[in-house]
Amino acid sequence: MTYNEDFMKRAVDISRRALTEPGTEPFGAVVVKDGRIIGEGLNHSLANFDPTSHGEVEAIRDACRSLKCVDLTGCDMYTSCEPCAMCVATMEVAGISRLYYASSMGQAGRAFATLTRDERHPIDVDRLRALAGSLIEERDMPAEQHLDREAVEIVEAWVKMKKEN
């Protein structure tokens, strides 16, 4: 599939809802399959008290519910802003095949920089990018591993169960 301006306009229109809808931020997205929108999302992080409620993630959730699957291979993502590392990871896990975006993170970041910390939900985009790709022992957040044997046994039992069905 190639770029379709109507789908990008829809993503931007969804982001515009943040101008009148409390608890939202101006990031909208649509998931497209075979030339039709199958999922839409608007950032509801503040309204839902959910830092994962970004427009892209919400559009993926909506598309997966619509198709009753978790594999969006062959689908395109249109989003009003270049996705953050969390959204990129979600797109990769879901199998999104192509991304089209409107504003860059730099462009959005310059606009957000004029807000005080209390007026926004701050994300350090550069730090997030670095952390998302680093090994767990290289991250700033302290992390410890415990009960791995028990957890791995469950994962292995689940895999065995899936192979037998």
Kindly list the catalytic residues: 56
Size of the chain in residues: 165
- What residues contact residue 103 under an 8 Å CB cut-off, 6+ apart? 80, 81, 82
**Residue type, position 17, single letter:** R
DSSP bridge partners of 39: 31
Alpha carbons 66 and 53: distance in angstroms, whole number: 18
- What residues contact residue 60 under an 8 Å CB cut-off, 6+ apart? 31, 39, 41, 72, 77, 90, 91, 94, 96
Which DSSP category does 66 fall into?
H
